[in-house]
Structure 1
Amino acid sequence: MKRFLATTALCLLPAMAQATALEDAPWAPRAAAYRLTLFLGNLDPMPWDLLDSSWTTPVAGSARDIAAFENMTESETRGISQALEDQDRQALFLAATDVIENGILRSLAKASDNLGTPEAAQHIARAETLYRAFADGIQAADRSGFHQNGRAWLALNSAVGSAGLSQAGALEADRDAFNAARETIETYLMQNYTAADFMPRSTLTTVPETIHSSGAEIEVPVALPPGSNIADQRELPRLVLQFEEAGLDEADMPLVAYGDMLFDSPEIFGGPARDLGMACSTCHNRSDVNRDFFIPGLSSHAGGMDVDGSFFNSMFNDRTDDHLDTPSMRGIRFTAPYGRDGRESSLRRFTRNVIVTEFAGKEPTPFQLDALIAYMRQFDFLPNPKIDDAGRLTDLASEAAKRGEALFNTPFEGLNGRACATCHTPDRNFRDGMTYDIGSSEAPFEGGTVTQFDTPTLRNINFSAPYMHDGSLPTLESVVDWFNDSKSLGLDDAERGDLTAYLYAVGDGEDPYQVFKGRETTFRLAWEELTTFASTLNTLIPMQDAENIALLVDTVAADLAADASTMVNQAAKADVYRLSSLLRAAGDASAGDNWAEAAAAWDAFKTLQSELDEAMY
């Protein structure tokens, strides 16, 4: 189960992409605006309207629901406003950096003025939340400075003193220690974050200026801005797999199991998607849609993004803000062509395009594509007892839905004499495999040809809002209203209600979300998935396929260790780390061409897994 590791600026740099979602700590409003400025300022083209709103309105992911401007001085506000008005990228970066540095210095001064009172600790806390905006750049570029500053922050917090509890345990403030720690931090900031001394930067980063001006090549870990959410949605979709419904075990189907692992692996993508821990399943949770997915600057609303911008693959940048809604992959073997515009009839070629073109991954091997396609072709729709095999409503549907079915099959002049069912053909899974211009997009230039979009299936659509290719319509009611208005269908309120009821009937599905209770926890689900992925070593080790073993181990070993944080049975956490180490040992041995040692480590993994299975929840 692939999820995003939301790293904070003060944590250790990850050695590789991991998968367990951690809630990102809220940002101070000014720090949130600053981090958004860095992220949006590195997009091409820059979204100046979003940059403006990041300072003038509250930012999602902020600790408090206030705009950054509300905590800034008049001169700071003027500097940001002027840079935004001039659309001057470098001036905005300098003014924004000043806001953070000045805010830290002011808070430390207030802490000094209030030393020995509770207010002093509050001011230090405010200063630390602003320092967080710089910390990842310092950590990446200047490890010694990062640790020096870290010790200084600890000293500051220890030196402010405490009134204790009920006059017991009081600690006197230590002004000498406070001043020494304050000087350490302030000197570092003034040497490295005084914007007037900055050299121009082609990429806006938080790397300290003394390091940047030296010309050193520094790679700051990829980070998403405040307000981002690429973790699994809280209600996990139920995954319906054809082989499971037939009573088969995925562990007995190594190609499918390996494809399942690849679908959950960030290792098949290039940076930055790989570095963020993104996988196919990040957007397509358990074959359906991650309705919570959102990245400011890339997503116009939750549930999709612009996949051909500059962030994931600059070579694929079409310089157009064209957010696409994430389509469900349920029943994907029945829903060709692929892509919202139906540009690809082959699922294999489309999958390769997503990996290489959209997310800058290296060329997948034929075996890897075979595995991915074998797995994805197992995705099925949620069963829906309200429709029969031909797509007709059953007796379980409401009377309103049955009236709506008649409307759905009625030709309308506004649809050029066709019915809704002409394109959303009931006995073809409510689709026809064709593309159309329905008036939902504009031509790219005057006299240009409007993009056509494929007919999406209506099966299970109750769980994949929003709707249309760009996700511009939030509900099925709004979809019916849009067609009624744009195509002059002439439906009255009752008829629109009946047609909507019909859509809800055909779009329904049984048990749409994963149920967790008792021993069936999120970790148990991850445990069963990850150990099934690992089972492909039964095939890969005898094949001596070191390349695919390495990819599997890099994915599964990291995920096992990371997922341990979600365990209910915390006493068994150490055992998960032991298993992860055995998997690593098998991978290291195979990389060294020591196949006997790899097989021994894998046998030890299987033995320990069997012994521990009941405790894994």
Structure 2
Amino acid sequence: MRSLVFALWLSLLPGLVHATALEEAPWLPEAAAYRLSLFMGNLAPVPWQKLRDNWENPAPGAAPSVPAFDFLSEEQLNTVRAALKATDKQALFEATTRVVAERMLESLDKAEETLGTAQARQHLLRAQGLYRAFADGIQAGDKRAFTSLGLAWLEMTSSLGSNGVLGAGKSSSEESTFSKAKTVVATYVKANYALQSFSERIKLSPVPESIAKSGKQVTLPTTLPPGSNIADQKQLPMLILQFEEAGGDEALLPLVAYGDMLFDSPEIFGGPARDLGITCSTCHNRSDVNREFFIPGLSSHAGGMDVDGSFFNPMFNDRKDDHLDTPSLRGIRFTAPYGRDGREASLRRFTRNVIVTEFAGAEPTPFMLDALMAYMREFDFLPNNKVDREGRLTQHASAAAKRGENLFNQPFEGMNGKSCASCHVPDQNFRNGQAYDIGSSEPSFPGGTASTFDVPTLRSAKFSAPYFHDGSLPTLGSVVDWFNTTKNLGLDAEARADLTAYIEAVGDAEEPYQVFEGRETEFRLAFDELTTFATTLNTLLPLQDKANIEVLVNTVAPDLKADASTMKNLSAKSEVYQLASLLQAVGDAVANDKWSEASKNWQAFQALQNEIDERMY
């Protein structure tokens, strides 16, 4: 019975944090809008227009994609609208909490009224979907109630009855059982969520009112709002590392391997990034851009976010809604200065700033920064046979691109006699290391000075859309159009197409995405990467480097378990779990200064890995 209850609650709870981000089930429109209200209501400043949009338009993560307002009665709709108009967090919390609770209770009533029909199950599923908006608050604040409510939901589901299969296994609905279970849920929801007033909530959360009023301290797990996507993009970018292209092996480069691990580790960040499993690789997927990364309230569109808001590090909050497009890190050793505005000449200092300032991590050790630098400096641009080493087009480029090359090098009066190549210098990786105000942003106040932004490389740029510092232009063609309009270049449609063809040729690649076929699978890629990370124990254990071993184990062991859970080869699944356990045993032994035991567990890990290496795929 307990396992059934647990399975039910997994479907009701908001997205749980995993070592490897999983796709979240869609939310009902009212529940999605409500959870977005809680999340955005805790931002500073509160983005009131976005909150209105979440109710008036289809909310991110909602299914069906219908405005939440479409499901509300006129009275409920007016209540929420009044709270939004008042820009009052507490009023918004009270109105939206009450409305979602009322909608849930209405669905429960309809399920009971239609018991014995197919509609009853649909109404109950809708009630469960709305209850999901409160479930993690109850679980965190009132565990006993969470268990009893879980049993009640299960009893309601089982008492609906079933038509069976071809008549076999048919069962009738049980009105008495359903009614008793419904009373348990309805009574709790009425007492905690369907209220006219609530205790003041400094931080908005779905914690039950009885718990909030008691003053009990409740720690909720860190969650993201509906519609968030922090998983790897579906088309994995091809990762080009210098040493690999030269035939090297990362397992023989411990500093690079440890830096690779840190790049994939949430352990270097503070909460909430660490709690959510966010890593450098989350945004800079395989050295490129995760074009599907999106967090409502922080991202204006996929592929970036406001990195200096209140969510990740309140101390760094500039109180501006200033989404930044995530830059590609390909060829990063060539692309100083760093930051969209070119504020930092040193990659090392910039990386430290990301860890500590943007994501509230602890001060990284010099060794950690050494390792990250060693790894990131191996990032290279995608090979492209359309451009030679001097940045000139080759015979593989199209005729349109070659016409565009002439335009790219042509001075324009609208650009003060400069050409595109004046800033995007072909033999300098199509950049010049400078920052300019090109008119892509406005001063923060009348008469103020507009921000300058660094000149981005055009190499591999075809695959890093959208463009500009804020990701406001979706295609390279739209970038050409923007310059043509704002700088009065006077290019006709054919010339703009040629110039676009040239930039696309410069930014092209022979193999931009990882190809999986045969034995080369996503699982194998992830498993090989994790076991390579683990090889740094060959260096760290003899040094008795407790701190860095802890980071390694806390990163790799959970990811091994997560990858094991997705394995198609069921016969080897238990052995991958065993590898994760052996690695955790290494960490436990090190934590207790049992270095001999740690070495034995590491040797056992290596032996098991070698034993199953071929047959596990």
TM-score range with shorter-chain normalisation? over 0.9
Aligned: 1:413 with 2:413: yes
Contact 1:8–1:24 (CA<8 Å) still a contact in 2?
Answer: no
Q: Please, which runs of 5 or more residues in structure 2 have no aligned partner? A: 1-8
Aligned: 1:476 with 2:476: yes
Cα shift readout 1:29-74 (whole Å, capped 9, x = no counterpart): 1101111111111111111111111111112321212111111111
Counterparts of 2:398 and 2:197, CA distance in 1: 70
Partner of residue 102, structure 2: 102
Correspondences of 1:183-262 after superposition (within 5 Å): 183-262=183-262
Query: 1:122: Cα distance to partner?
Result: 1.4
Cα shift readout 1:413-438 (whole Å, capped 9, x = no counterpart): 11111111010000000000000000
Query: 1:533: Cα distance to partner?
Result: 0.3
Call closer, same or farther: CA 1:20–1:616 in 2, change over 3 Å: farther
Partner of residue 344, structure 2: 344
Aligned: 1:304 with 2:311: no
Query: 1:399: Cα distance to partner?
Result: 1.2
Partner of residue 391, structure 1: 391
Counterparts of 1:18 and 1:93, CA distance in 2: 28
Q: Secondary structure at the match of 1:515?
A: coil
Query: 1:616: Cα distance to partner?
Result: 3.2
Aligned: 1:430 with 2:436: no
Correspondences of 1:3-152 after superposition (within 5 Å): 10=12, 18-152=18-152
Cα shift readout 1:357-408 (whole Å, capped 9, x = no counterpart): 0000010000000000100000000111111111011111111111111111
Call closer, same or farther: CA 1:505–1:365 in 2, change over 3 Å: same
Partner of residue 509, structure 2: 509
Partner of residue 457, structure 1: 457
Query: 1:149: Cα distance to partner?
Result: 0.6
Partner of residue 182, structure 1: 182
Contact 2:386–2:396 (CA<8 Å) still a contact in 1?
Answer: yes
Partner of residue 491, structure 1: 491
Query: 1:498: Cα distance to partner?
Result: 1.0
Cα shift readout 1:175-203 (whole Å, capped 9, x = no counterpart): 22112111111111122113324101010
Query: 1:584: Cα distance to partner?
Result: 0.3
Contact 1:256–1:374 (CA<8 Å) still a contact in 2?
Answer: yes
Query: 1:13: Cα distance to partner?
Result: 9.6
**What amino acid does structure 2 have at the position aligned with 1:146?**
F
Counterparts of 1:616 and 1:415, CA distance in 2: 59
Counterparts of 2:110 and 2:238, CA distance in 1: 53
Counterparts of 2:565 and 2:159, CA distance in 1: 33
Query: 1:615: Cα distance to partner?
Result: 2.8
Query: 1:18: Cα distance to partner?
Result: 3.4
Regions of 4+ moved over 6 Å: none
Cα shift readout 1:130-175 (whole Å, capped 9, x = no counterpart): 0000001111111111111111100001112223334432212222
TM-score in terms of structure 1 length: 0.97
Query: 1:8: Cα distance to partner?
Result: 6.3
Counterparts of 1:297 and 1:365, CA distance in 2: 32
Call closer, same or farther: CA 1:9–1:547 in 2, change over 3 Å: farther
Aligned length: 609
Counterparts of 1:308 and 1:594, CA distance in 2: 42
Correspondences of 1:542-561 after superposition (within 5 Å): 542-561=542-561
Q: Secondary structure at the match of 2:145?
A: helix
Contact 1:117–1:162 (CA<8 Å) still a contact in 2?
Answer: no
Counterparts of 2:167 and 2:613, CA distance in 1: 51
Partner of residue 5, structure 2: none
Contact 1:116–1:161 (CA<8 Å) still a contact in 2?
Answer: yes
Q: Secondary structure at the match of 1:432?
A: coil
Aligned: 1:595 with 2:600: no
**What amino acid does structure 2 have at the position aligned with 1:232?**
D
TM-score in terms of structure 2 length: 0.97
Correspondences of 1:288-299 after superposition (within 5 Å): 288-299=288-299
Query: 1:445: Cα distance to partner?
Result: 1.0
Counterparts of 1:486 and 1:268, CA distance in 2: 42
Partner of residue 444, structure 1: 444
Counterparts of 2:72 and 2:142, CA distance in 1: 29
Partner of residue 584, structure 2: 584
Call closer, same or farther: CA 1:295–1:109 in 2, change over 3 Å: same
Contact 1:259–1:374 (CA<8 Å) still a contact in 2?
Answer: yes
Query: 1:494: Cα distance to partner?
Result: 1.4
Partner of residue 4, structure 1: none
Counterparts of 1:223 and 1:103, CA distance in 2: 23
Query: 1:221: Cα distance to partner?
Result: 0.9
Q: Secondary structure at the match of 1:275?
A: helix
**What amino acid does structure 1 have at the position aligned with 2:235?**
E
Contact 2:233–2:290 (CA<8 Å) still a contact in 1?
Answer: yes
Call closer, same or farther: CA 1:347–1:265 in 2, change over 3 Å: same
Q: Secondary structure at the match of 1:321?
A: coil
Contact 1:284–1:329 (CA<8 Å) still a contact in 2?
Answer: yes
**What amino acid does structure 1 have at the position aligned with 2:259?**
G
**What amino acid does structure 2 have at the position aligned with 1:48?**
W
Counterparts of 1:229 and 1:399, CA distance in 2: 40
Partner of residue 276, structure 2: 276
Cα shift readout 1:178-232 (whole Å, capped 9, x = no counterpart): 1211111111112211332410101000111111111111111111111111111
**What amino acid does structure 1 have at the position aligned with 2:141?**
A
**What amino acid does structure 1 have at the position aligned with 2:177?**
A
Q: Give the % identical residues.
A: 65
Counterparts of 1:449 and 1:21, CA distance in 2: 41
Contact 2:12–2:129 (CA<8 Å) still a contact in 1?
Answer: no
Counterparts of 1:366 and 1:164, CA distance in 2: 65
**What amino acid does structure 2 have at the position aligned with 1:93?**
F
Partner of residue 524, structure 1: 524
Counterparts of 2:531 and 2:131, CA distance in 1: 41
Query: 1:323: Cα distance to partner?
Result: 0.7
Query: 1:9: Cα distance to partner?
Result: 7.2
Q: Secondary structure at the match of 1:191?
A: helix
Q: Which moved more, 1:350-359 or 1:112-121?
A: 112-121
Q: Secondary structure at the match of 1:614?
A: coil
**What amino acid does structure 2 have at the position aligned with 1:87?**
T
Counterparts of 2:72 and 2:15, CA distance in 1: 31
Cα shift readout 1:525-573 (whole Å, capped 9, x = no counterpart): 0000000000000011111011111110010000000012222212211
Contact 1:156–1:182 (CA<8 Å) still a contact in 2?
Answer: yes
Counterparts of 2:349 and 2:10, CA distance in 1: 37
Counterparts of 1:584 and 1:233, CA distance in 2: 29
Counterparts of 1:229 and 1:204, CA distance in 2: 22
**What amino acid does structure 1 have at the position aligned with 2:32?**
A
Query: 1:23: Cα distance to partner?
Result: 1.6
Counterparts of 1:259 and 1:8, CA distance in 2: 35
Call closer, same or farther: CA 1:8–1:402 in 2, change over 3 Å: farther
Q: Secondary structure at the match of 2:135?
A: helix
Call closer, same or farther: CA 1:12–1:606 in 2, change over 3 Å: farther
Q: Please, which runs of 5 or more residues in structure 1 have no aligned partner? A: 1-6
Counterparts of 1:272 and 1:66, CA distance in 2: 30
Counterparts of 2:11 and 2:109, CA distance in 1: 24
Contact 2:14–2:223 (CA<8 Å) still a contact in 1?
Answer: no
Cα shift readout 1:87-113 (whole Å, capped 9, x = no counterpart): 121111111101111111111111111
Contact 1:298–1:305 (CA<8 Å) still a contact in 2?
Answer: yes
Contact 1:101–1:189 (CA<8 Å) still a contact in 2?
Answer: yes
Counterparts of 1:361 and 1:497, CA distance in 2: 46
Call closer, same or farther: CA 1:533–1:218 in 2, change over 3 Å: same
Counterparts of 1:591 and 1:478, CA distance in 2: 55
Counterparts of 1:168 and 1:9, CA distance in 2: 27
Call closer, same or farther: CA 1:436–1:12 in 2, change over 3 Å: closer
Counterparts of 2:215 and 2:241, CA distance in 1: 53
**What amino acid does structure 1 have at the position aligned with 2:572?**
A
Counterparts of 1:333 and 1:594, CA distance in 2: 40
